[in-house]
Each structure stands twice: as C-alpha cells, then as structure tokens.
Amino acid sequence: MNRDEVIPILYEMALTIGGESSVGPLLTRTLQRLLYYTSFPAGFICLDLPAPAAVDAEILTARLDAAVGDYQLIRHVGEQLALPRRLLLGPAAKADGQTELLSGMPATQGRYHAFLRLPIGKLGVIILMAPRMPETELPLTLMFEPIMAHLARAVLLCRNNDQYASQLIADKQRADTRAEFLALHDALTGLPNRGLLLDRIQQAMAMATHSGQYGALMTLNIDHFKQLNDYYGYEACDNMLVETARRLETCIREGDTVARFGGDEFMLLIWPLPATQNEAAIQAEQIAQKIQQGLTPPYRLNGRELSASFSIGISLFRAHLDTLETLLRNAETSVYQAKIAGRNTIRFFDPELQSVIMTRLELEADLLRAMPLKEFLLYYQVQADDQGHITGAEVLIRWRHPKRGLVSPAVFIPLAEETGAIVEIGDWVMQMACETLRGWQQHPRMRQLQLAVNVSAVQFHQPDFTDKVCRLMARYGDIAGLLKLELTESVMLDSAEQVIQKIQILKNLGLRFSLDDFGTGYSSLAYLKRLPLDQLKIDQSFVRDITSDPSAAVIIQTIIGMAQNLGLEVIAEGLETKEQLALLMRYGCRHYQGYLLSKPLPIDAFETLFEQGALSLSLKQALI
C-alpha cells in the first residue's frame, strides 16, 4: 500500500465531511467525492439501519437517504425501499460478480455487478456500485474506516444542526408572521388596522370600477365611550372593545372587513352591494341594523352588566368617483350626524339616501301594522272562457293606507317579501279565498266558480306551507278543486324535487296549480314537463304586444302549442282589446283575464256582475 496515495484522499474526504453542516449535502458531497476518487459510477447511502442480529429476512426496508450517479435511483431518494439485507448489512466489503445480489436493487435494472460497502459506524451504510470493479491497488475497504467513523459523527452533528436550524427558521417564520400581522392589524382586537382597511377599500374601488357595484363604508362609535372609560377603567373598556370586535365579526358578510381605527372607532367595509344606489343603501341599512342588534345585548364588565349604544354612519361609494380621503371624511361626517341625531342611530352621509331609507323604514313599519289594522282589501278579476262563461276570478290584494291612499302591490309586495310579512299576508288571502268559495257553495249558479290565489315563492318555500294548506282544506271542506294556486317561475329556483313534491301533495287534495307570468322567467322545458301543473298563464307583456310585435305573437303561439302538447290549459292575462282577443282565439287560447272582460272588482261588485251575466253582449258574441 502506498501511504502517499491513501493519505491525500483521506485528507480531502475529511475536509469535505468537515465542511458540511446539513445532513443532505453532507451525504451527497461525501458520495460524490467517493465516486470521484474510486471511479465507481454510482452509489447510495441508507441511514438508521436495523442491527444485523435483528433482521432475519433476506430483504429489509430502508430509507434511501442519498444517491448519486444513478438517475433511476436518485428518483427514490427519501423513500423506503426494499433492499437486499446481504448488500446493506455487514462489515466493509468489496465484491465483483455480484449480479444476483445487485439485481435485488430496485430501479437499477441489473446495471451493476460490483460493489463496495462502507459501513458508517453503526449509523448506516454507503454502497458504491459499478458495472465492473474499478481497478485499484488501494485497500478501499480498510482505508476509509477512519473517514466513515468521522462521517458517523458528522451525521449526528449535522442532524442536531438541522434540527436547530429548522427550529430557528420556524421561530423566525412565527416572528415574521406575527410582525406582519401586527403591521396590518390592531394589537388589542386583532382586527385589521387602518392601513389594511385602506388597502382593501382601494381594491374594492378598483373592482367596482369594472363591476359598477356599490360599496359602503360604515363608521361605528361607542356612545359616551369617554365616560365609560372614566367609570369602568381602561382595562374593562379594552375588554369591551375586544368583545365589540368579536360581535361585529359575526354581523358582517363573508368578504366584508371590520377594522379598528383606534379608540372606540370601528370602520367597516361592506362590499359588494347592488349596482343601484337605492338598493345598495337598503342593503347597507339592513347590515347596519343587524350590527346594531348584535351589539344590543349587555356587556359584562368587572362582574357588572353594561348596556352600550352605538352610532353608525354610512357612506356609499362606487369605483374611483371619490378619492379615498373624501370617502373617509364622508364616513366620519355620517357618524357625527348620527351622534347629533341623538346617538344609537344609523345615518347616511347622503341626505337623499337618508330620505329614501326613512321612507322605506316608515313603509315597512306601516306594512307590519296593516294586517292588524285591516288595511288590506281583496279584489276579484274575472276569468272567462271562449264561450263567454265566467269561470272564476283571480284574487288580488290591495292596501288602502290611511294617509297614502291605495299603495301599489308593485311597491308593497316586494317589501313584504323582504321582511317576511308576505307569509302572514298570503295566509290571510288564501283563507279569505276559501271563505268566499265556501260562501259560493250556497248559490247553485256560483258553486262552480274557481278562485286563483297568488302564492309568493317566499310563502311557498316555508317549511310548513303544505301543512297550513292541508289544515285549511280540512277546515273548509270540499272546495279544494275550486282553488287554484298561482306560482311564479321563481319558485323553481329552489330544489326541483322539493317543489314537485309539495305541488303533488297539494294536488292530491284536489288543488289546482297555474304557472303565473309564464314566458318571462327561466323555466326550462325539461323542468316544466316534470311539474304537475294544470295551467300556464301567458304574461300580460306578450298579450299587450300581440298585435304590434310579431315576436310576441310567435312566443304566444309557441306557449300555446307547448301547453297543448303537455296537456295544460292556457289562460291569457292583461287582455284589453278585441284585436288581442281575436288573435288569442285564433292561436288556440281558450281562457282570458283582463280589463276587456272586467277590471278587478270588490266581492260584491264581482258577484253582481256574475249574477247579471254582465259581460257585454258584443264581447260575448266576440267570444263565441
């Protein structure tokens, strides 16, 4: 053995091993230098092998910790592999002609026939592989012993260092995350701070530029906060601010932002809101009301209960029409106006919007009182067939307001739907219709008359809707076949199966169903085919245009043809002229409703009309 040939290699290997501080690079570099010096083309390292005495099987599972020189093997680094025990375990060894043993290696496809095994102390093993044993006169199995002992210690040191480094990195990441959080959040409440909110407002403004949607900035102050501070102390009031923050978070929608600007000043970004100003204002108002309600329950401070009130100012914005500074100033001004208005108040920055909201709020309050005050009236509009016979009527609701006079259904029905009052109103209408039908049962000529009642989607989707109708039918006896429920296409927005099931339950009682405003919604033919309906009602907009707009005429013909194919009756509403009637008849529509027959009438007038058979003679002739 030539000592001068061995020592330089060991020297360089020792320096390579000593120069690494992490396990991965240590193993890779060590392997690389061994390949460089020995001319073996490939090698791998497995650490944490079981003790030879503990292994009986010929194949053992070991993690491949490093591989160099064999691309197929490199792809398995980090994985557990099934490897021949006789290759991995044992003292340092060098052997040629080991085709069978090495063919047990995964992924190497029999490329290698010679190997050099260098145990890394008791920690693991290095295996170098070659298609044939590289020439050397050096005692490779012996000469690397001190280097392998050195490597074993280096692996342990590097593992400690890796653990320490990863701990440092994790600590730093936590610190960075905390610092980043604090840079953008309020330390007391954890809410976004002014900087983050301003950034989000700018993002909302940028998005609103494209979408045209409104957003709202709400400023919220705790009324008399200074006095609360003086009385309860800063710590208790800090707790109150934290509690307020948590409550606010539960009141906003996903995507909205609640921020604390300092002191008792909270700022909320509500985005997106509808694209029309009034609707946006209404929605913002509703959210503000929800916030006010959420903040109403008393706080517990130092064992005592405290009821606080809040002033909320709202400023609407859209796109970059306003500067950020203007927007913030408006929000501040609006909360100031709320405080002047007596605190515990919601105020819009825009006086016109405030007026719109006030009007709506008043109407809403009046609407809730209308039922007990018996302000609702029912009108009946004639429905007739092509023989000139009155077949029944549609029941229409009117609201006679003591100050406003008659309020259009177009105004109060949507409001009633939003507030939920529609359920009570709808129940009342249906009950009144049943009363009427029962009354008509006493008159032989009127007992065949049918009544159509509008059912709102909100009402229809109430979980107890079918129960209520069933109870009503049980109470009013045998009138079910004379009651026709008119649904709009909006009921179909919900689960088709549920809708069909509900309709079917009620049809089993004898009720009939008509699809109102047909042609304006989003009914799919496939869906329509499955709905157990009795009648389609052609929307009055098509009837109005039937004589002037060829496409309206085509749509009506299509609806009639489709209804005939589905076995459904068709009724046209909004009939006003004889020309319209003539065309409808020509297209095959056999049922009608509209001013040409009669305007909506109070019950007495309707009954008189029916008793007198007062459809004009010329109209009757036209019909017949």
Partner 1 sequence: MGSSGMIYFSSVDMDSIESLLLNWRTEFPGMGVLVMVPESEKDQVPELQALCRRHRISLCGAIFPQLIYGTEFHRSGICLLRFDTMPYMALHTGVLDTTAESAERIAAGVSPRLDDDTPATLFLLLDGLLPNIGTLLDELYLRLANRVHYAGVNAGSETFQAMPCLFDNHDMVGNGVLAILLKPHRGAVLEHGYQTQAHALPATSTDGNRIIHIDWRPAFEVYQGLVRAQFGVDITRENFYRYAVHFPFGILRANHCTLVRIPVMLDDDNALFCIGEVPAHSMLTLLEAPRVDSLNTLETLRQGLAQLRGGSAANGLLLFYCAGRKQHMGDAAAEEELRIFSEVTQPAAVAGALALGEIGESTLWGYPLFQNATLVTADWGTGQ
Q: Where do contacts with partner 1 occur on this chain (CB under 8 A)?
A: 2, 4-5, 7-9, 11-12, 15-16, 28, 32, 35-39, 41-42, 68-71, 74, 111, 130-131, 134-138, 140
Residue with tokens 């005592």: 304
- Report how far residue 619's alpha carbon sits from residue 388's, in angstroms, rounded to the nearest whole number: 8
One-letter amino acid identity for 22?
S
User: Which residues, listed in sequence order, are joined to residue 42 by a DSSP beta bridge?
Assistant: 129
Smallest separation (angstroms) from partner 1 to the CB of 9: 6
Smallest separation (angstroms) from partner 1 to the CB of 299: 60
Smallest separation (angstroms) from partner 1 to the CB of 10: 10
Q: Please identify, using beta-carbon distances, which residue of 138 and 509 lies nearer to partner 1.
A: 138
Smallest separation (angstroms) from partner 1 to the CB of 248: 50
Q: Helix, strand, or coil here: 404?
A: coil
Q: Please identify, using beta-carbon distances, which residue of 13 and 282 lies nearer to partner 1.
A: 13
Smallest separation (angstroms) from partner 1 to the CB of 22: 15
CA-closest candidate to residue 155, choices 32, 45, 7: 45
Q: Please identify, using beta-carbon distances, which residue of 144 and 317 lies nearer to partner 1.
A: 144
Give the CA angle between residues 153, 156, 161 to the nearest 5°.
Answer: 125
- Report how far residue 107's alpha carbon sits from residue 111's, in angstroms, rounded to the nearest whole number: 10
Smallest separation (angstroms) from partner 1 to the CB of 69: 5
Smallest separation (angstroms) from partner 1 to the CB of 94: 12
Smallest separation (angstroms) from partner 1 to the CB of 79: 17
Q: Under a CB-based contact definition with an 8 Å cutoff, are residues 61 and 81 in contact?
A: yes
Q: Please identify, using beta-carbon distances, which residue of 36 and 527 lies nearer to partner 1.
A: 36
Name 438's Cβ contacts closer than 8 Å, sequence gap at least 6.
476, 477, 479
Distance (Å) of CA 230 to CA 30, 190, 264, 577:
71, 24, 14, 76
Q: Under a CB-based contact definition with an 8 Å cutoff, are residues 378 and 603 in contact?
A: yes
Q: Please identify, using beta-carbon distances, which residue of 36 and 232 lies nearer to partner 1.
A: 36
Q: Please identify, using beta-carbon distances, which residue of 10 and 457 lies nearer to partner 1.
A: 10
Q: Please identify, using beta-carbon distances, which residue of 31 and 218 lies nearer to partner 1.
A: 31
Q: Helix, strand, or coil here: 212?
A: coil
- Exposed e or buried b per residue across 176-194, where buried means at least 16 C-beta atoms within 10 angstroms of its C-beta: eeeeeeeeebbeebebbbb
Smallest separation (angstroms) from partner 1 to the CB of 159: 22
Q: Please identify, using beta-carbon distances, which residue of 114 and 546 lies nearer to partner 1.
A: 114
Q: Please identify, using beta-carbon distances, which residue of 109 and 359 lies nearer to partner 1.
A: 109
Q: Please identify, using beta-carbon distances, which residue of 123 and 133 lies nearer to partner 1.
A: 133
- Report how far residue 108's alpha carbon sits from residue 170's, in angstroms, rounded to the nearest whole number: 38
Distance (Å) of CA 296 to CA 222, 283, 309, 339:
12, 20, 7, 17
Q: State which H helix or E strand residue 543 sits in.
A: helix 540-545
User: Which residues, listed in sequence order, are joined to residue 219 by a DSSP beta bridge?
Assistant: 267, 313
Q: Under a CB-based contact definition with an 8 Å cutoff, are residues 485 and 514 in contact?
A: yes
- Report how far residue 588's alpha carbon sits from residue 577's, in angstroms, rounded to the nearest whole number: 17
- Report how far residue 573's alpha carbon sits from residue 238's, in angstroms, rounded to the nearest whole number: 63
Smallest separation (angstroms) from partner 1 to the CB of 287: 53
Please count the other Cβ atoms lying within 10 Å of the Cβ belonging to residue 518: 26
